[in-house]
Structure 1
Amino acid sequence: MLHQAIWRKGNPDWQICGIPEKFYTDHGSDFTSNHMEQVAIDLKINLVFSTVGVPRGRGKIERFFLTINQLFLQDLPGYLGNQTCTSLLTIKELDEKLLNFIISNYHHRVHGTTKKEPIHAWNNSGFLPNMPESLESLDLLLLNVAKPRKVHSDGIHFQGLRYIDTNLAAYVGESVIIRYDPRDIAEIRVFYQDKYLCTAISPEISDYTVDLKDIVSARSKIRKNLKKQLDSGKTVAEEIALSKQKDLEEKLNKSNSKKSKLKRYFNE
């Protein structure tokens, strides 16, 4: 979350970025960890914890959550208060819809206090965001840390996948640290002796956006098949690719179905 908030976004319509001076939060384990404390020190962020049981100390944050709930979540399929729709959204679909809401709606709604659209307030403030020296330096601080991995002749093995990069050839037999974004582990950042070495990709899934849950699900399915002696011979990567292909086909079928219905209605 903090990694995405700080770094420049891939979407040109989302300009907000930079290291915050203060970080208001509650007492969740992620935010009170030694890792978070070290990140705050390195990035010179002042951590401000609200009083336990008193969310008013995070008023602006809670107000934003209320806006998201009232203007976004309650109209989505699967919302508990929405009894008119029985379909559900995947995490990826929810993420895409939230991104679209923030960029197309929230950033252009006039704020009750400033009387300005948030995106205009940001662009016209003359504010120069404080940025990390590089994406790699931010990765070193914030991306999830896995156990040390050894570089093999065919690359780095992680979660049943193989990651390769030409720079790894000189480090065969060496131990490295890998860091990754759990929302997309088609690639990993590789560090050697606390210095960024390269970004290695898993060629079998490089064409897809694959989060850690996809990997866990695929490995679990393979294990269940093995227990039932239904081994299909598929690797984790092949299982993921098959799942992604099915998702794509379902989306195409839904899209064609919608177009078909619109066409019939138009002719009628």
Structure 2
Amino acid sequence: MGRAEAEKRRAAVARLEQLRADGDLSAAHVRLVADGLGVSARTVWRWLAGGGDDPAERQVRPRYALTEADREAYAFYRGNVSAVHRARAAVLDGTGTTAGAPVPGFLAEGWKGARAVDRRTLARAFEAEMTPAEREAWKTGEAGRRAKSVYLRRPEEIRGRVWEMDHKQLPVLVSRPKGKPVCPWMTTIVDDGTRALVGWALAVTPHTGTVLTAMRMALLHDPEVSPFGAVPAKVRIDRGLEFAAGPVRDVLAALAVVPHRLPAYQPHRKGKVERVNLTIEQTLISHLPGFTGGPRDAAGRLYGPVDDSPAALRIAEHTGIGPMRIDDFVKRLADWVAWYNTERPHRALHGLTPLAAWEEDEAPLARIPADKLRHLLLASTERIIGKDGIRFQGLDYVAPEIQGRGGQSVEVRYMPHDDRTVEVYLAGRHLCTATPTGQLTAEQTEAFRQQQREEAERLGRERRRASRRARRELAPMTGTSPATESRLVPAKTGRSASRQALDAALRARASTSLLGIKPITKNEES
């Protein structure tokens, strides 16, 4: 029995003896003490009679203390206490061999002269002297150690002040328009104060544009996309290269947001976004066809309609029959995000949803208009303006400003999964905001046609002006009168000069004089 129990029983016996000395001891007192100590009333009466059964009077048997060799053996045999006991017994017996293999020399040297103990005693010693985290570290590795570790909880933040950002490859197969099915990557931004998923983006592979897209959603206050949106004071990120890219650093610096880069392989330092990622997997992805973490048959194939074997993926690439399309998955994910933010109560928020916690918090928010963030937070690609506009992601985008620019290469900046508009840049300068042809309003359609008419009229005027200029230049060369050029005509001819005198002057200064050839006169000829 442990020392703490012995102390409790010693105190109980002392109290009962005091009651007996005062003449107040009763059977009810004995039963009460017996119930509290988990023993029978007869045992308590025996203690009072001085029968020698009081554990407080007995010597506590010393436990076996682990040696350094025992600890090294625990690590060597990966936490297997039975293997440690067999090896220890083999060394003490002099055989030096266990399970058909010799015991390592450093263990045999460490166990020389040790006393023999049974397996149960050895197991109790490991349990008493090693923490659960230490034991799990040798059994299952770092994941086991973290599962048994205790972490500090950060103080609660107010809304919109701190972000946590993360990349995660989702364990679900989706099919692309071209190529074999893949597991997509998701960039997630969680508000520390309210656990709200304020920004997200999906891509086949993580890249800087994905990060900027998620940041744009988290920064902008657009009720059609997200009810949240604010500029934080700090953002926690891991060592992912996409987070360290120049455009991301430039955005954070421009908005005076302090990036806090966490040490590698310490996901608990951004536990809120990690918890959201796990919730996505548990409540959404695990129910979808193509969930790669689902149960498998004896051959290793996933149960259900989707098989992730290489042969099945090659067949799905050519037939299109297999995992769900990536655009369908994006819609499912968007619906899930709306449900998580607005309907799912959160235990850490005292039963509130993230949106309710956001609205209940009255802390002021730092917000920036969308037009001031346009140049910072969009993914980009190159496109050539065609006859129907700018072809991008299966849609034709048009704007009055692209009139007359067919065949010109432009930069398109966009937010993935939001096809309402794209921003068009020419030579690094913003040209226009383009809208899909099928989503133009009546006013936008009229503005486009008006620009088309004005462009045609402008070019017509330019052509007519150029034609008049050309006629003025070519008229002296095509007329019947001699061409007059200022350097061939005498500087002063007088208004009253006759036409014959003018012709004579021109003949005297014929074009041969321009080449340095002097005309031959009649006198010279003779």
TM-score band, normalised by the shorter chain? 0.5 to 0.7
1:132 aligned residue = 368
8 Å contact 1:73–1:79 — kept in the other structure? yes
Checking the alignment, whether the CA contact within 8 Å between 2:220 and 2:229 is kept in structure 1 is yes
Rounded Cα–Cα distance in structure 1 between residues aligned with 2:274 and 2:372: 31
Contact 1:145/1:177, CA 8 A, preserved across alignment: yes
Query: Which residue among 394, 398, 407 is the counterpart of 1:164?
Result: 398
**1:49 alignment counterpart:** 261
Structure-2 change in CA distance of 1:61 and 1:172 (3 Å):
same
Distance 1:85 1:38, change over 3 A: same
- Name the residue aligned to 1:5: 218
Aligned to 2:414: 180
Partner of 2:346: 111
Question: Is 1:17 matched up with 2:252?
Answer: no
Q: Report Cα offsets for 1:90-146 as digits up to 9, x if no partner.
A: 222222222222222453333222202221111111244322222x33231011233
Give the distance between the partners of 1:106 and 1:188, measured in 2 at CA: 27
Offset at 1:191? 3.2
- Greater gyration radius: 2
Q: Which amino acid aligns with 1:189?
A: E
Matched, 1:123 2:367: no
The one-letter code of the counterpart of 2:355 is I
- For residues 46-100 of structure 1, give each alpha carbon's deviation from its aligned partner in whole angstroms, at most 9, with x where no partner exists: 1111111221221111111112222222122211215553153222222222222
CA contact (8 A) 2:330 2:417 kept: no
What amino acid maps onto 1:16 in structure 2?
Answer: F
Q: 1:20: how far off?
A: 2.2
**Once the two structures are superposed, what CA deviation does each residue of 1:204-251 show, in whole Å capped at 9, x if it has no partner?**
x769xxxxxxxxxxxxxxxxxxxxxxxxxxxxxxxxxxxxxxxxxxxx
Moved more, 166-175 or 105-114: 166-175
2:277 to 42, 53, 65: 65
The secondary structure found in structure 1 opposite 2:249 is: helix
Are the equivalent residues in 1 in contact too, given 2:220–2:369 (CA < 8 A)?
no
Distance 2:425 2:398 in 1: 14
Residues 39, 141 of structure 1: 8 Å contact kept: yes
SS class of match (1:141)? coil
| Structure 1 residue ranges without an equivalent (≥5) | 208-268
Once the two structures are superposed, what CA deviation does each residue of 1:174-221 show, in whole Å capped at 9, x if it has no partner? Answer: 875431234456753123575543212454x769xxxxxxxxxxxxxx
Change (3 A) 1:93 1:169: closer
Deviation at 1:34, TM superposition (A): 1.0
The structure-2 alpha-carbon separation of the partners of 1:56 and 1:178, relative to structure 1 and needing over 3 Å to count, comes to same
Q: Is 2:433 the counterpart of 1:199?
A: yes
Select which of 64, 85, 92 maps to 2:304: 85
Structure 1: distance between partners of 2:252 and 2:288: 35
Indicate conservation of the 8 Å contact 1:176/1:190, yes or no: yes
- Percentage of matched positions with identical amino acids: 26
Structure 2 SS opposite 1:59: helix
CA distance in 2, matches of 1:182, 1:56: 29
User: How many corresponding residue pairs?
Assistant: 203
1:96 aligns with 2:331: yes
Deviation at 1:40, TM superposition (A): 0.4
SS of the equivalent of 2:376 reads helix
**Greater shift after overlay, 96-105 or 157-166?**
157-166
Asked if structure 2 preserves the Cα contact closer than 8 Å seen for 1:179 and 1:188, the reply is yes
Relative to structure 1, the CA distance from residue 89 to residue 152 in structure 2 (aligned partners, 3 Å threshold; closer, same or farther) is closer
User: Post-superposition, which runs of at least 4 consecutive aligned residues in structure 1 deviate over 6 A?
Assistant: 149-154, 157-162, 170-175
Aligned partners of 1:24, 1:62: CA distance in 2, in Å? 12
Q: Which residue of 1 aligns with 2:450?
A: none
**Match in the other structure for 1:237:** none
Give 3-state SS (helix, strand or coil) of 1:78's partner. coil
Provide TM-score, normalisation by structure 1. 0.62
Are the equivalent residues in 2 in contact too, given 1:153–1:169 (CA < 8 A)? no
Is the Cα contact below 8 Å between 2:414 and 2:423 reproduced in 1? yes
Specify whether residues 151 and 110 from structure 1 end up closer, same or farther in structure 2 by C-alpha distance, changes over 3 A only: closer
Residue 245 of structure 2 corresponds to which residue in structure 1? Answer: 33
Partner of 1:226: none
- Matched to 2:229, the amino acid is C
SS at match of 2:431: strand
**Which residue type is aligned with residue 73 of structure 1?**
I
Q: Cα 1:198–1:79, aligned 2, differ >3 Å: closer, same or farther?
A: same
